[in-house]
Amino acid sequence: MFYKVLNGVKVIEYGNMISAPFCAKMLADIGAEVIKVEKPAIGDDSRWREPFLKDIPGTERSGLFQYLNMNKLGITLNPETATGKKIFIELLKNADIFVENNSPNSMKELELSYKFVKQINPRIVMTSITPFGQTGPYRNYKGCELVDTHMGVVGNISTREGDTSKEPIKYPAHLFSFQAGLSAAAGTLGAFYRQRVTGLGTQLDVSEQESVIQNLNAATARYSYGKQIVSRTDVLSVAPSHILPCKDGYIYNALAEEHQWWRFVDVMGHPDWADNELFKDATSRAQYWDALKPLLLEWTMPRTVEEIYRTSQEKGIPIGAVRTADQVLGDKQMVARGFFVAVEHPENGRLQYPGVPYRFSGINKEPPQAAPLLGQHNEDIYCGRMGYSKRDLDRLKEARII
Partner 1 sequence: MDDPFLKGIRVIALTWVWAGPWMGAVLADMGAEVIKIETNQRLDHQRITRILDVPGQGSDQKPDINRGLFNVTNRGVKSCTINLKQPEGVEIFKKLVKISDIVITNLSPRVMPGWGLDYAALKEIKPDIILVTLPAFGSTGPDKDYVSYASTIEAAGGLSASFGYPGEEPVLSGTYPGDPIGSMYGVFSVLAALNYRDMTGNGQYVDVAQSEGVASLIPEVTMEYVMNDRIRPRLGNHDEIMAPHSCYPCKGEDKWVAIAVSDNKEWKAFCKVMGDPAWSKDEKFSDQFSRWQNQDELNKLIAAWTKDFTNYELMHKLQKVGVSAGASLNIEEVINDPHVKDRGVFVEENHPIAGKTIVYRSPWTSALTATLSPAPCLGEHNEYVFKNLLGMSDKDIRQLVDKKVIY
**Where in 181-210 is the site for partner 1 (CB under 8 A)?**
182-187, 189-194, 196-198, 200, 202-210
Residues in 287-306 that interact with partner 1 by CB under 8 A: none
CB 219 within 8 A of CB 212: no
Scanning 36-44, 225-233, 272-280, 392-400 for contacts with partner 1 by CB under 8 A, the matching segment is 225-233
For partner 1, the binding residue among 162, 265, 284, 373 (CB under 8 A) is 162
For partner 1, the binding residue among 357, 364, 391, 398 (CB under 8 A) is 357
Q: Is residue 329 within the footprint of partner 1 (CB under 8 A)?
A: yes
CB 307 within 8 A of CB 297: no
Q: Judged by CB under 8 A, how many residues of this single chain contact partner 1?
A: 155
Sign of torsion, CA 286 288 294 300? Answer: negative
Q: Which of residues 67 and 299 has its CB atom nearest to partner 1 in the complex?
A: 67
Sign of torsion, CA 128 212 68 47? Answer: positive
Question: Where does 199-287 have alpha helices with state H?
Answer: 208-213, 217-226, 258-267, 282-287
Q: Is residue 21 within the footprint of partner 1 (CB under 8 A)?
A: no
Closest CA to 330 of 313, 305, 308: 305
Rounded distance between C-alpha atoms, residue 5 and residue 258, angstroms:
44
HEC letters along 78-120: CCCCHHHHHHHHHHHHCCCEEEECCCHHHHHHCCCCHHHHHHH
Q: Is residue 328 within the footprint of partner 1 (CB under 8 A)?
A: yes
Contacts of 120 (CB under 8 A, 6+ apart): 89, 92, 93
Scanning 78-86, 87-95, 323-331, 392-400 for contacts with partner 1 by CB under 8 A, the matching segment is 323-331
Q: Which of residues 225 and 346 has its CB atom nearest to partner 1 in the complex?
A: 225
Q: Is residue 321 within the footprint of partner 1 (CB under 8 A)?
A: yes
Q: Is residue 278 within the footprint of partner 1 (CB under 8 A)?
A: no
Rounded distance between C-alpha atoms, residue 347 and residue 235, angstroms:
50
Q: Which of residues 133 and 395 has its CB atom nearest to partner 1 in the complex?
A: 133
Q: Which of residues 183 and 378 has its CB atom nearest to partner 1 in the complex?
A: 183
Name the minimum Å distance from CB 392 to partner 1.
35
Residues in 98-137 that interact with partner 1 by CB under 8 A: 132-137
Closest CA to 379 of 73, 43, 172, 8: 73
Name the minimum Å distance from CB 84 to partner 1.
24
Residues in 358-397 that interact with partner 1 by CB under 8 A: 358-363
Q: Which of residues 271 and 354 has its CB atom nearest to partner 1 in the complex?
A: 354
Question: Where does 227-331 have alpha helices with state H?
Answer: 258-267, 282-287, 289-300, 305-314, 325-330
262 burial (CB, 10 Å; 0-12 / 13-18 / 19+) is middle
Q: Which of residues 55 and 398 has its CB atom nearest to partner 1 in the complex?
A: 55
Q: Is residue 78 within the footprint of partner 1 (CB under 8 A)?
A: no
Q: Is residue 19 within the footprint of partner 1 (CB under 8 A)?
A: no
Q: Which of residues 49 and 85 has its CB atom nearest to partner 1 in the complex?
A: 49
Q: Is residue 168 within the footprint of partner 1 (CB under 8 A)?
A: yes
Residues in 52-71 that interact with partner 1 by CB under 8 A: 52-55, 63-64, 66-68
> Which residues is 37 bridged to in the sheet?
75
Phi-psi category of 247—alpha, beta or left, where left has phi over 0 and alpha has psi -120 to 50? alpha
Name the minimum Å distance from CB 167 to partner 1.
4
Rounded distance between C-alpha atoms, residue 1 and residue 368, angstroms:
5
Q: Is residue 346 within the footprint of partner 1 (CB under 8 A)?
A: no
Rounded distance between C-alpha atoms, residue 315 and residue 206, angstroms:
43
Rounded distance between C-alpha atoms, residue 304 and residue 95, angstroms:
53
Q: Is residue 274 within the footprint of partner 1 (CB under 8 A)?
A: no
Q: 231: number of CA atoms within 13 Å, CB side?
A: 11
Residues in 142-161 that interact with partner 1 by CB under 8 A: 142-144, 146-161
Residues in 229-268 that interact with partner 1 by CB under 8 A: 229-233, 236, 241-243, 245, 249-252, 254, 256
Q: Which of residues 36 and 402 has its CB atom nearest to partner 1 in the complex?
A: 36
